[in-house]
Structure 1
Amino acid sequence: MLKTGNKTKSIENINFMVIDANSNLPFPNDYFDVAYTKKGPRDWYHEGNRIVKAGGIILGFYHAGSHGALRELFPGLYSQIPKPEANDILTELNLYGSGLTDIKVELLEEIEYLSTPEDVLIKKCFGQNQKLREIVWQECLQDVEEIFNKYATSKGLKIINYYHLLTAIAS
């Protein structure tokens, strides 16, 4: 993915890299105008503030849970979890004392349609090892198919995903 991104990018000064974000980033102070993380380390913002020019923008994007069909229709597969409030996100991401200003957390909603019963399990098992995926398929697919077929529309099974979009200004 990184190789393709770097080969096909439309803007020359964009580079896709793999970096250990749990240690100091390999960039000088005040190097970037914008920095973005998606599901990055929770304490990344201090380092982000270091590498972004004063007045630059820091963005973070975090999954905040799914709602709708998954949690309501598959309670044994998906447990109910409360959506965190913005202040909880600020604490969780260790933003207090980061030096960032104008910190805002916005809750975004995305409607998604899952096309097949297998998509329900793929979403549940994303990132899990092969053995666990095989067990989940064996034990759950038949029940998931039954529920999916009962509630799916012509577009598929409607679910709503929530995300937190964090924006802040580097100091």
Structure 2
Amino acid sequence: MYRPRGTERERLREDIVNLLQSYGVRAQHVGQAFSQRNGLHPTDLQALMAVMQAEGDGTPLTPGRLGEELGLSSGATTAVIDRLERAGHLRRSRESADRRMVHLRYGEPGKALAVAFFGPLGRRTDEVMRDFTDEDLATVRRFLAGMGDALEAHHHEVRTAD
């Protein structure tokens, strides 16, 4: 049954929500393909993404912070780190005077696999972004940051409600 859509803003909101959902599913498919190709568990991929992002932000993760981000116990976090370290995807690094403090870094073999797999996607996203002005991209960045914050707040709320 056809239902006329509401105002232009309502139509835009619905389209944006649908596009975000579709993007999320497609991104999961790409992540699953990378995981399967490289013998990674989905949690391993989440860990690698968290380590990569933190390292890129200049705030490398400790094992404890990684566990918090992934919602894993200490033992499960250690198992993920051990698997990823054995495979060369990440490495433990002692960078401070306190030798007990361990940071997690993306391993060179893992970087090479990621570049080989995700490089073509990076080129495709660059092509898409060329069609947008700097102002457009700044608006998109602000929007996605806000949506990410809303998603994280909801995740925190439902995770702690159990």
- TM-score, reference length from structure 2: 0.25
Which structure is richer in relative contact order (CA contacts within 8 A, separation 6 or more)? Answer: 1
- TM-score, reference length from structure 1: 0.24
